[in-house]
Chain A
Amino acid sequence: GAVVSQHPSWVICKSGTSVKIECRSLDFQATTMFWYRQFPKQSLMLMATSNEGSKATYEQGVEKDKFLINHASLTLSTLTVTSAHPEDSSFYICSARGLAETQYFGPGTRLLVL
């Protein structure tokens, strides 16, 4: 149980385009989903927290117009990187939490912006 999927696992795009990443909880209902970013050899940095049906809460320094988060259902959250630039290249990971406090992580999405 507690499986979280992400799609796509890899994406390469041109600078200026937008990229959507999906995060799904496959066998449980996720009341809260989280989006993280990890740079090479660094820790996971929380970008935003989203609850189903409400607006996401962004961490300090994260541009909400740049990283659009939608949590339309209890099993799906999406992160859209708008007008991506090379500095947005990173490893993006989502996690989902059900009724318990433990977060379960997706496999991550590696984004490369050319």
Chain B
Amino acid sequence: DQQVKQNSPSLSVQEGRISILNCDYTNSMFDYFLWYKKYPAEGPTFLISISSIKDKNEDGRFTVFLNKSAKHLSLHIVPSQPGDSAVYFCAAADYTSGTYKYIFGTGTRLKVLA
């Protein structure tokens, strides 16, 4: 049972335009969410996070939006740059075991076209 889902396996966007990556989750107990960027054969790089008490967090070109009622979060990248091309994973933090464990989505491959 996939608790964190990224339904779009890939996305292509023109340079300078907005990239919107989506993520849905099923467990209403998740209270902390993160986005990571990953290149092939490398570890994920932390991009941005959001706590469930917020609905928006912004850091430079990256903004994460959280809609708790819909159990949906999205990552907006604007303007998109060719260097943003990578696989993006959303993760939800599950604290039920007493420490935060991350549950990752399956990833969305973003390609920014020059």
Point out residues on A near B: beta carbons under 8 Å.
Answer: 2, 4, 6, 32, 34, 42-46, 49, 51, 57, 91, 93, 95, 97, 101-108, 110
Contacts and interface: CB of A to CB of B under 8 A. Distances in A.
A interface majority secondary structure: strand
B79 interface: no
Interface string B96-112: 01011111111100000
Contact of B44 (A46, A57, A93, A110): A93
Given A43-B89, A43-B105, A44-B104, A32 B99 contact: yes
Interface size class of B (residues with CB under 8 A): 20 to 34
A51 B101 CA distance: 13
Interface of B: 32, 34, 36, 41-46, 49, 89, 93, 97, 99-107
A102 B106 contact: no
B32 A101 contact: yes
Contacts of B34: 102
3 tightest CB-CB pairs across the interface, nearest first?
A105-B43, A43-B104, A43-B106
Contacts of A49: 97, 99, 101
Contacts of B45: 105
Given A101-B93, A102-B34, A108 B42 contact: yes
A4 B93 CA distance: 20
Contact of A44 (B89, B93, B97, B99): B89
Given A34-B101, A102-B49, 8 more contacts: A42-B106, A46-B103, A95-B102, A97-B100, A104-B46, A105-B45, A108-B42, A108-B43
